[in-house]
Structure 1
Amino acid sequence: MDKSDISHIEVAEQGPKPPTGLHVELFKGDEVVLIPTPSADPRDPLNLPAWRKWVLLILVSAFSCTAVVLASGMGSIFSVVEASYPGQEAKANDLMTYPTLFMGIGNLIAMPWAFTIGRRPVFLASILLLLAGGVWCQCSTSLESHIAGRIIMSLAAGQSEALAPLIIQEIHFVHERGRKIAWFIFIQNIASGVFFVISTYMVSAWGWRWWYGFFTIMNAVIFVFAFFFVTESRFERTEEQMRGEASDPKIVDVSAVEEQYEPRCWRNDIQLFVSNPKFSDIPTFYKHVFQGLFIPTTVWLLLLNGANLGTYVFEASTFASILMAPPYNFSFDALGYVQAGQIVCCLVFLPLLGYGSDMVIRVFSRRNNGIYKPEYRLPVIAIPAIVGIICGIIYGRAGAHPESWSVASIVIGYNASYFAFLGANIVGITYAVDSFPFRAAPFLVVICAGRGFISFGLSYATLPAVATLGYNGTMIVEEVICAVLALFAIPMYFLGPRIREYVQSWCEPEKSP
Structure 2
Amino acid sequence: MGLGILEDKHLEHVPGTSIFSDDPNAAAQAAYEGIDLSLLKHGTGKNAHVVLVPQPSDDPNDPLNWPQWKKHMVFFVLVYGTVICGALGPLVSADIVGLAVEFNVSIQAMSRALGSALVAALAVATVIWTAISIKIGKRPVFLISTIIMMVGSVMSAYSKNYNTLLGSRIIQGAGQSVLEFLVGASINDIYFTHERGIPVAAWNLALLNGINITPPIAGQVIQHLGWRWTFKIFAIANAILFVLQFFCMPETTFLRSEPELLGGSGNSKENQDTSSFEKHGDSKLESSQPVYRRKTYSQDLAIWNGIYPTQASFLKLLWRPIESIASPIVLWAGLIYGVAITWLVLLATSVSQIFSAPPYNFDSGQVGLTYMGPFIGAALAALISGPLTDFLARYLSARNKGTFEPEFRLPLVIFYAIFGSMAFFGWGISANVQDPWIGPVIFFALANFGITLGASGSIAYVVDAHRRSAEIAMGGVILFKNIFSVIITLFINDWLVARGVLSAFCTVGGVILFTTLLTIPMYIYGKRARSWIHRSMKLDNDE
* TM-score bin, normalised by smaller chain: 0.7 to 0.9
Deviation at 1:175, TM superposition (A): 5.5
* Identity among equivalent pairs (%): 21
Deviation at 1:62, TM superposition (A): 1.6
Distance across 2 between alignment mates of 1:105 and 1:126: 14
Partner deviation per Cα, 1:229-285 (whole Å, 9 max, x = no partner): 3333334466899xxxx74699xxxxxx99654446535543334452358632122
Partner deviation per Cα, 1:387-440 (whole Å, 9 max, x = no partner): 1110111111123221xx332232122233333333343334433233224333
For residue 451 of structure 2, the aligned residue among 418, 421, 428 is: 421
Structure 1 stretch 307-316 or stretch 276-285: which is displaced more? 276-285
Deviation at 1:371, TM superposition (A): 5.4
Deviation at 1:113, TM superposition (A): 0.9
Deviation at 1:20, TM superposition (A): 7.7
Deviation at 1:130, TM superposition (A): 0.8
**Structure 1 stretches lacking a partner, 5+ long:** 1-16, 251-256
For residue 55 of structure 2, the aligned residue among 38, 43, 68 is: 38
Aligned length, in residue pairs: 484
Q: Does 1:65 align with 2:95?
A: no
TM-score normalised by structure 1 residue count: 0.84
2:138 matched residue in structure 1: 119
TM-score normalised by structure 2 residue count: 0.80
Structure 1 stretch 205-214 or stretch 32-41: which is displaced more? 32-41
Structure 1 stretch 86-95 or stretch 197-206: which is displaced more? 86-95
Structure 1 stretch 479-488 or stretch 295-304: which is displaced more? 479-488
2:446 is paired with a residue of what secondary structure? helix
1:282 matched residue in structure 2: 314
Contact 1:391/1:413 (8 A) holds in 2: yes
Partner deviation per Cα, 1:22-65 (whole Å, 9 max, x = no partner): 23456475655446432233333334444433333332222222
Contact 1:341/1:412 (8 A) holds in 2: yes
Distance across 2 between alignment mates of 1:28 and 1:94: 49
**Match of 1:108, as an amino acid?**
V
2:495 matched residue in structure 1: 465
**Aligned positions of 1:263-278 closer than 5 A:** 263=294, 266-267=297-298, 269-274=300-305, 276-278=307-309
**Match of 1:159, as an amino acid?**
V
Contact 2:57/2:256 (8 A) holds in 1: no
1:217 matched residue in structure 2: 236
1:92 matched residue in structure 2: 110
Distance across 1 between alignment mates of 2:183 and 2:205: 14
Distance across 1 between alignment mates of 2:406 and 2:299: 34
Contact 2:90/2:215 (8 A) holds in 1: no
Deviation at 1:110, TM superposition (A): 1.2
**Match of 1:66, as an amino acid?**
I
Deviation at 1:127, TM superposition (A): 1.1
2:517 matched residue in structure 1: 487
Deviation at 1:131, TM superposition (A): 0.8
1:129 matched residue in structure 2: 148
Provide the alpha-carbon RMSD of the alignment: 3.2
Contact 2:112/2:489 (8 A) holds in 1: no
2:439 matched residue in structure 1: 409
Q: 1:430 to 1:240 in 2, by over 3 A?
A: farther
Deviation at 1:103, TM superposition (A): 1.8
2:284 matched residue in structure 1: none
Distance across 2 between alignment mates of 1:238 and 1:494: 37
2:221 matched residue in structure 1: 202
Contact 2:378/2:445 (8 A) holds in 1: no
Q: 1:192 to 1:298 in 2, by over 3 A?
A: closer
1:93 is paired with a residue of what secondary structure? helix
Distance across 2 between alignment mates of 1:378 and 1:50: 34
For residue 166 of structure 2, the aligned residue among 147, 154, 165 is: 147
**Structure 2 stretches lacking a partner, 5+ long:** 1-10, 32-52, 266-287
Contact 2:54/2:193 (8 A) holds in 1: no
Distance across 1 between alignment mates of 2:21 and 2:223: 56
Partner deviation per Cα, 1:85-130 (whole Å, 9 max, x = no partner): 1355442222233222222222122111112222222122211111
Structure of higher CA gyration radius? 2
Q: 1:496 to 1:87 in 2, by over 3 A?
A: closer
Distance across 1 between alignment mates of 2:460 and 2:61: 25
Deviation at 1:338, TM superposition (A): 0.7
For residue 168 of structure 1, the aligned residue among 182, 187, 209 is: 187
Distance across 2 between alignment mates of 1:376 and 1:50: 33
Distance across 1 between alignment mates of 2:411 and 2:344: 22
For residue 22 of structure 1, the aligned residue among 16, 20, 41 is: 16
Distance across 1 between alignment mates of 2:334 and 2:183: 18
Contact 1:179/1:354 (8 A) holds in 2: no
For residue 75 of structure 1, the aligned residue among 79, 83, 93 is: 93
Q: Does 1:308 align with 2:333?
A: no
Distance across 2 between alignment mates of 1:452 and 1:343: 22
For residue 252 of structure 2, the aligned residue among 224, 228, 233 is: 233
Deviation at 1:362, TM superposition (A): 4.8
Distance across 1 between alignment mates of 2:365 and 2:244: 33
**Match of 1:379, as an amino acid?**
P
